Amino acid sequence: MPRYALKIEYHGAPFAGWQRQADQPSVQGAIEAALARLERRDHTIAAAGRTDAGVHALGQVAHCDMARDWDPFRLSEALNYHLKPNPVSILACAQVEDAWHARFSAVERRYLFRILERRAPATHDAGQVWQITHPLDVHAMQQGADMLIGNHDFTTFRSSICQAKSPVKTLDALRVQRVEGFSGPEIHFHVRARSFLHNQVRSFVGTLERVGAGTWTPADVRRALEAKDRAACGPVCPPYGLYLAAVGYPNDPFA
């Protein structure tokens, strides 16, 4: 059965997350249903990462196995047709080797988190940003972020229901920048690692927001990290500002 890699964009608001669920809508379920319209059988796809309810994607990657050979462009076009009206789009499709795996072949994952910094309620960006009405100190947040880069035991920034075997991960990058967004000033967090713990990025951002607000100092972030205690974490920020931005592979199937 030929295998295809899919690059996927989606708005997470209508879904209970990526993973298929029996009684709630999911991104995986929507794509598998579209695949069943093309080849009438049960389909199971695998993704590079499972996003939570309300989390978006700019470049999620999954793979599917088809019974017949499809032209990749025609497969992506057919899937986009059958995915309507779900806010899910197949951006690219490529045939890959049978051993290629969207999750296990990946060598890095990149996340983006958006904060909208303004007092007036968000309209166009509602549900796509975390809105903060008070000013934030980006320089202080970057100082706090620098404490987290490297190989650490991230127990403090790990959900209590995380299923990872170890809390030790290597964070390759955590960059904080202020940009001028469509609806006003935004603060973007660019986060990169091979893999992440459950709620790790949202725990980072919620903690760093406290630094930006002046409630915490950058040194407090190091103390929280070294505590290796979930109770030492700052507030976990909401999911709707988080985007799975990109997944990296040794040989990009979409190049």
User: 24's torsion region: left (phi>0), alpha (psi -120 to 50) or beta?
Assistant: beta
The 8-class DSSP code of residue 52 comes to B
3-state secondary structure of 178: strand
**52 catalytic per annotation:** yes
- Contacts of residue 231, Cβ cutoff 8 Å, sequence gap at least 6: none
3-state secondary structure of 232: helix
Q: ∠ at Cα 165 (159, 167), nearest 5°?
A: 55
Q: Which of 23, 42, 52, 137 is catalytic?
A: 52
- In terms of Cα–Cα distance, which of 18, 78, 23, 72 is closest to 48? 18
Place of tokens 């407090």: 220
**Helix (H) or strand (E) segment spanning residue 221:** helix 218-227
Strands (E), the chain: 3-10, 46-47, 56-65, 88-96, 108-117, 130-132, 150-153, 168-181, 184-193, 242-248
Catalytic residues: 52
